[in-house]
């Protein structure tokens, strides 16, 4: 299989940056999942799609948009009614879903080569993300595992909270480098480390 290259490579500078004199409050990295798949159920077929997600991933997804789970290696979250994003370290997830999700249930779209996954973590992650998105990032409003679909200027983003102070952001590969640069710039004030 062809090895995927990171669109962030020219701007991905490992180390500490910005105002880190009093410590680093943000960790930025590219997660690089092997598979990113979008699933959509036809009206009335949402429960069958959720059952297929459970069968393929082993994760028992809560019913409804915005709910989700992450176990470190794979994650799934709803971003709209009947629509879900699934990411896994392993490749070939789209093929597994193509067998489990019949055309009568919904659609399977492999986004693995079209999206970049960026992780932001640290005590100031909510604060930095609030500079970009008009979303309440507080834990009660955006619980661990939950997902949101939004945009920053013209950059469409899907965001999943994967820890109490950690978020994974999925953006189009063609916008990934400019979004990364903006995220780094927004993190300079509190000090950030690229890993």
Query: Measured between alpha carbons, how far is 48 from 36 in angstroms, rounded to an integer?
Result: 20
Q: What is the CATH number of the domain that holds 166?
A: 3.30.1360.120
pTM: 0.88
The helix-helix angle for 46-57 and 93-100 (nearest 10°) equals 140
Q: Last residue of some domain: 80, 110, 140? A: 110
Look at residue 176 in the predicted model and tell me its pLDDT.
92
- 3: DSSP letter: P
What digits encode the pLDDT tens for the residues 36-73?
999 999 999 999 999 999 999 888 776 655 566 666 67
Query: What's the mean pLDDT in 11-15?
Result: 81
In order of 27, 47, 138, the CA distances from 190 in angstroms are 11, 43, 19
Beta strands in 15-110 (DSSP E): 15-17, 26-30, 35-41, 68-70, 74-80, 83-88, 106-110
Range of the domain at 91: 35-110
- Could you tell me if 120 and 103 lie in one domain? no
Phi–psi pair at 162, nearest 5 degrees: -105, 5
Q: What is the pLDDT of residues 99-152, one digit of tens each?
A: 999 999 999 999 988 999 999 999 999 999 999 999 999 999 999 988 999 988
Q: Is residue 183 part of a domain?
A: yes
């Amino acid at each position: 299989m062809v090895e995927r290259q990171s669109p962030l490579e020219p701007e991905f500078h490992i180390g500490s940056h910005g105002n880190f004199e009093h410590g680093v409050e943000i960790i930025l990295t590219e997660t690089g999942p092997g598979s990113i798949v979008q699933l959509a159920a036809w009206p009335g077929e949402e429960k069958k799609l959720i059952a297929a997600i459970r069968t393929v991933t082993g994760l028992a997804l809560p019913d409804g948009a915005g709910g989700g789970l992450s176990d470190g290696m794979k994650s799934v979250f709803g971003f709209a009614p009947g629509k879900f994003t699934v990411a896994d370290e392993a490749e070939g997830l789209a093929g597994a879903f193509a067998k489990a999700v019949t055309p009568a249930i919904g659609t399977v779209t492999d986004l693995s080569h079209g999206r970049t996954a960026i992780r932001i973590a640290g005590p100031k992650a909510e604060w930095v993300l609030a500079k970009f998105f008009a979303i309440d990032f507080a834990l009660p409003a955006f619980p661990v595992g939950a997902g949101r679909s939004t945009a920053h200027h013209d950059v469409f983003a899907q965001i999943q909270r994967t820890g109490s102070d950690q978020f994974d952001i999925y953006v189009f590969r063609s916008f990934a480098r400019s979004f990364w640069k903006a995220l780094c710039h927004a993190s300079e004030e509190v000090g950030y480390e690229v890993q």
